[in-house]
Amino acid sequence: MRKIYLLHFVVILSFIVSSVYAQGQFPYQNSDLPVTERVDDLLSRMTIQEKTGQLLYQSPSIPRLGVPEYNWWNECLHGVARAGYATVFPQSVTMAASWDKALIYEVASTISDEARAKHNKFLQLGERGQYQGLTFWSPNINIFRDPRWGRGHETYGEDPYLTGQIGKEFVMGLQGNDSKYLKVVATAKHFAVHSGPESLRHVFNAEISERDLRETYLPAFRTLVVDSKVESVMGAYNRFRGEACCASEKLDGILRNEWGFKGYVVSDCGAIADIWKTHKIVPDAAAAAALSLKTGCDLNCGKTYEALKEAMDRGIVTEKDFDLSLKRLFTARFKLGMFDPIERVAYAQIPFNVNDNTENAYLSRKTAQESIVLLKNQDKLLPLSKNKGTIAVIGPNADDIQSLWGNYSGIPSHPVTVLQGIKNKVEPAMNVIYAQGSDLAQGMPEFTNIPSVYLRTPDGKQGLKGEYFDNDELKGNPVYTKIDDQIDFSWVMTSPDPRLKTSNFSIRWTGSLIAPETGTYYISGRGRPSVKIFCDGKEVNAHYSNLRSFKIDLKKGQKYDIKIDYKNNRGEGALNLLWSVPEPDALQNAVATAKKADMVVLVLGLNERLEGEQMNVHQEGFAGGDRTSLDLPKVQRDLMKAVVATGKPVVLVLVAGSALSINWASENIKAILTAGYPGEQGGNAIADVLFGDYNPAGRLPVTYYKSVDQLPPFESYDMEGRTYRYFHQEPLYPFGYGLSYSKFEYSNFQIPERQVAGNPVKISVDVTNTGDMDGDEVVQLYLTDEKASTPRPIRQLEGFDRINLKRGATKTVEFELTPRQFSMINKDNKRIIEPGWFTISVGGEQPGFSGRCDANTTRTIQKRLRLTGRKVNIK
């Protein structure tokens, strides 16, 4: 009888447990259990096939376990990217020019607020696709070792210490400060020794010394792993010492064994396929997948890990290998609160209205202000008057919104160009006139939306005929048809009409285009996720960031057939139909415009159409996204000289993501500033500086060289002759350089005469604003090892602090140098501290320069320090 009762009890208990589990109460869903227990429970319930799918960035759902699908790919380099309207901050290298750690943290915190808000909204809409998740592949902390690298503007510049400190603040701002949950996941990329050329990234093998590895290429990664606890690291495309960076025992050992990294590693997109296709390390996909997984790459951006089943069948990978990576991946998802009730996760309750609001726009403007570097201000030409006369704004970057942000960008809802910023700033009595003057480069004109007046439907009405389909393949009959005046759309978490699903619709526009003038036009588009444009039977594929265009000769008044096929399978989308109208007399018009003015603001530079990631660009001075020259494009140089020849006072504003060899300008133009890629509020911020409402204090995060002739071969990763740390020639403008409208003096430099090696060194200095304006000063500390057993940098940045001083005010700035900051890699490839003499410099610029390279609104002071005792080993 007892056996019967016991059997009944077991059956009832099993039924209760099954019912509870059926309601979603697996142990892994218990928010009160430790994450390690929850992850172990979840993995114990998964099949091998299910596990394989979770190692791919497009991770499928597991309905029977209540695991939703998840796409790991998202971007937020300088704002949430590729997910519709978002606050667009200055590009990364531009933000680095602020040298303001607190500001970078605030920017990153704002970005992650918007990221969470968007993700929360996507979930409400049932969207879980690409660019909708919480795992962000930012920041890029590679060293901008050579100004020719097209992706350099994604980084924080050429210095390991500056990169590490800025990157650390960015990571902490992204990941949040909750003791249990991550706001989002940050990813330090691209690990490691990766900085071009873009054309060789899939085949290149970086061979460098252990000294360069440990003293230049790895320090920023170590800082982010050790100090900011970055949750994710992305492997690079190239090889390092013969090993693929996404399958390297050497790099995995440094990351996990030396630095104690506990997070997950993701491949760059397609990098694991490169292991067998281009690097030829192994013969096939299964072998590449097995090698990468076993050497620590947990997540595949790509499809190669689909071959892991074959690898297991061949016995070259085991379920244990799967589980090790899956534990890391699911730990991140649990730490993001993905399996917990919303009410338990404060970040999951961030409302959508924090996205793209006026407060965030103001922060973008503030960041742009702090990032502007004043390079020259002869005769105090700046600041300008805003209440009288005529000012001419000239140049291809003066009124082009695409020149504001650089790559990996979101869509700003209210971008402000330099022209508009100046118009916003000046009083009504001042006349502002404009001329473009030239294309960005030969054959790369400025694009604008095609006005409705030049579009006709097939039956002759103004606009284009739009056919709207309830699928993403333009199949069947359209749900409805209407006339669209202009193709200028952004669908953010919505669709064109309630009858269409947010992430499953397509549109075909047809009609004709009428040319207003006879000449050569460029037709293009900017759109996501999939767009094809046909004009007069010719096709051009639109791209989100790089405007690919085709050239076509049109006759005034003649009609030309046009068709646009747009397909959307994601919860966001955008499309602009663009053209460039011929202006054969652009240079002459610019000169005439300058002659009418009392002052000229000349806005030149580059944009993401010329420099960027593996691009199909082949121009004089540019190749595949990289640069072959540091000069401005020839059409811009011609424009600059023609405008200066008018004799009018000229202020040169540079908008670019990398160093420019503006030798002629530095000799012939009285005032020059560089704004980088200043973000959505760039025009307002530049105007704030031009007219004296903001006192500039940005500092260069890179060296401005006189030409590529001063540089070693681009393909060489040896640091000798590169960056301010190893460059022995005179630059055009040095790293750390920047002027102010005020002036700063340094005094009372306190430093011990000697210290025992292995102990920290405390330093202080008084900084006084002796000028007539309130302003910021960037206090920089450089260390020079006067004599060592292995080659040392000329000097190296080891501390910085941005401070604000009222005019006449003095502030004491303190630094503490850690023992590691005095260390070096010796001839035995060990990190040690060698006793000896060190020169420590403190000031508002890099020491050791005179003439044009000496910032005359600040200064530096130096003292020597002697480290005594024995050699000290450092881990």
The set of catalytic residues is 268, 611
Helix (H, G, I), strand (E, B) or coil at 541: strand
Residue where the block lists tokens 């933000």: 95
C-alpha 313/C-alpha 802 separation (Å) is: 58
Name which of 331, 329, 339, 307 is nearest 52 in CA terms.
307
Residues in the chain: 875
- The owner of tokens 């089943």 is 309
Number of Cα atoms under 13 Å in the Cβ half of residue 394: 35
Nearest to 111 by CA among 684, 576, 680: 680
Rounded distance, CA 244 to CA 247, Å? 5
Round to whole Å and give the CA distance between 286 and 288: 5
Per the rule left: phi > 0, alpha: psi between -120 and 50, beta: everything else, 270 is: left
Q: Which amino acid is at 112?
A: S
Rounded to 5 degrees, φ, ψ at 335 are -70, -20
Burial class (CB in 10 A: 0-12, 13-18, 19+), 34: exposed
Burial class of residue 647, CB neighbours in 10 A (0-12, 13-18, 19+): exposed
> What type of residue is 492?
V
CB-based burial, 804-832: b 16+ in 10 Å, e otherwise = ebeeeeebebebebebbbbbbbbeeeebb
Number of other CB atoms surrounding residue 499 within 10 Å: 11
Residue type, position 51, single letter: K
SS (H, E, C) 272-330: HHHHHHCCCCCCCHHHHHHHHHHCCCCEECCCHHHHHHHHHHCCCCCHHHHHHHHHHHH
In angstroms, the Cα distances linking 539 to 520, 549, 756 are 17, 9, 70
Cβ–Cβ < 8 Å for 704, 817: no
Rounded to the nearest angstrom, the gap between the alpha carbon of residue 37 and the centroid of all alpha carbons in its chain is 36
CA distance 148 to 711: 10
Buried b or exposed e, range 658-673, using 16+ CB within 10 angstroms: bbbbbeebbeebbbbb
Question: β-strand 390-394 against 599-605: which pairing, if any?
Answer: parallel
Alpha helices in 336-444 (DSSP H): 358-371, 418-425
| Residue 104 DSSP class | H
CA distance 431 to 761: 56
Residue 600 has phi, psi (to 5 degrees) of -120, 130
For residues 802 and 697, the answer to whether their CB atoms sit within 8 Å is yes
Task: Record the tokens describing residue 841, joined without a space.
Answer: 């410099």
**Structure token pair of residue 287:** 């072998």
CA-based nearest residue to 309, from 282, 290, 328: 290
**Residue labelled with tokens 């118009």:** 423
Distance between CA 165 and CA 176 in Å, rounded? 17
Residue with tokens 């993001």: 336
Whether 526 and 579 have beta carbons less than 8 Å apart is answered as no
Whether the Cβ atoms of residue 710 and residue 716 lie closer than 8 Å to each other: no
**All residues at 6 or more sequence positions from 84 whose CB lies less than 8 Å from its CB, including other chains:** 118, 410, 411, 490, 491, 492, 493, 572, 573, 574
Show the tokens assigned to 693: 């409402």
Q: How far is CA 130 from the centre of its chain?
A: 18
